[in-house]
Amino acid sequence: MDYYSSKIRTLIEELSRLPGIGAKSATRMAFHLINQPQETADRLADAIRDARAGVRLCRTCCTVTDGEECPICASTARDRSTIMVVENPRDLAAYEKTGRYNGLYHVLHGAISPALGIGPSDIKLKELMMRLQDEQVKEVIIATNSTLEGETTAAYLSKLIRPLGILTSRIANGIPVGGDLESIDEVTLLRALEGRRAL
């Protein structure tokens, strides 16, 4: 038996398609939206529509932006000799929040995954290699995730970049702050050991 009308049910179904939103959260969100003033619902609908229609990829680094070039690539204050390669725009944002990296980025929009049928041509590798031909880059920092796909992508990138004579580095992986050694997996412990530095 249906408890809700078809319009409410449709709204709940669409909200539950969002990542991390289950049926209960979608139901709560749907009723919250329904109980808002019409102007609030209209602003949300307009924001979604405008973002979907107006957001594109930066012509330089391939992150999402609403202009031809993102603010990072357009900035004259950034160090243009270093490019950090990340899997998605959320990873870029995470590094920017640290406030400690002043170079440029390149967003791959994925990682190589033969199991999922994602090869090198399915991510933004060609665009990166074109940048490395044109720009005076001295170092590429590979900051893909510590997953099988991320490691595969990092190894593939390293092989592509090495012949260009550009220093290629990989972000260190290790034990998170506040983590107990006994609950950390073996791969993370090994990386932490290998990435050790003198004090």
| Helix H or strand E segment including 83 | strand 79-86
In sequence order, the 6+-apart residues with CB closer than 8 A to the CB of 14 are none
pLDDT tens for the 199 residues of the chain, in order: 467 788 999 999 999 999 999 999 999 999 999 999 999 999 999 999 998 898 999 999 999 999 999 999 999 999 999 999 999 999 999 999 888 899 999 999 999 999 999 999 999 999 999 999 876 899 999 999 888 899 899 999 999 999 999 999 988 777 676 666 567 677 777 777 777 666 4
In sequence order, the 6+-apart residues with CB closer than 8 A to the CB of 132 are 83, 140, 161, 164, 166
Measured distance CA(168)–CA(153) in Å, rounded: 13
Other CB atoms closer than 10 Å to residue 178's CB: what's the count? 5
Work out the widest C-alpha separation in the chain, in whole angstroms: 67
Q: What is the pLDDT of residue 160?
A: 94
Collapse the DSSP code of 113 into the 3-class scheme (helix H, G, I; strand E, B; otherwise coil) and give the result: strand
Determine the number of helices (DSSP H) and then strands (DSSP E) in the chain.
8, 6
Q: What is the pLDDT of residue 5?
A: 83
Half-sphere exposure (CA, 13 Å, Cβ side) for 153? 29
Measured distance CA(121)–CA(114) in Å, rounded: 12
Measured distance CA(63)–CA(74) in Å, rounded: 12
Query: So where are the chain's domains?
Result: 6-54, 77-180+186-192
pTM given for the model = 0.80
Domain 77-180+186-192 of CATH type 3.30.1490.100: no
Q: What is the pLDDT of residue 154?
A: 93
Collapse the DSSP code of 141 into the 3-class scheme (helix H, G, I; strand E, B; otherwise coil) and give the result: strand
Which CATH architecture group holds 6-54? Orthogonal Bundle (1.10)
| Helix H or strand E segment including 105 | strand 103-107
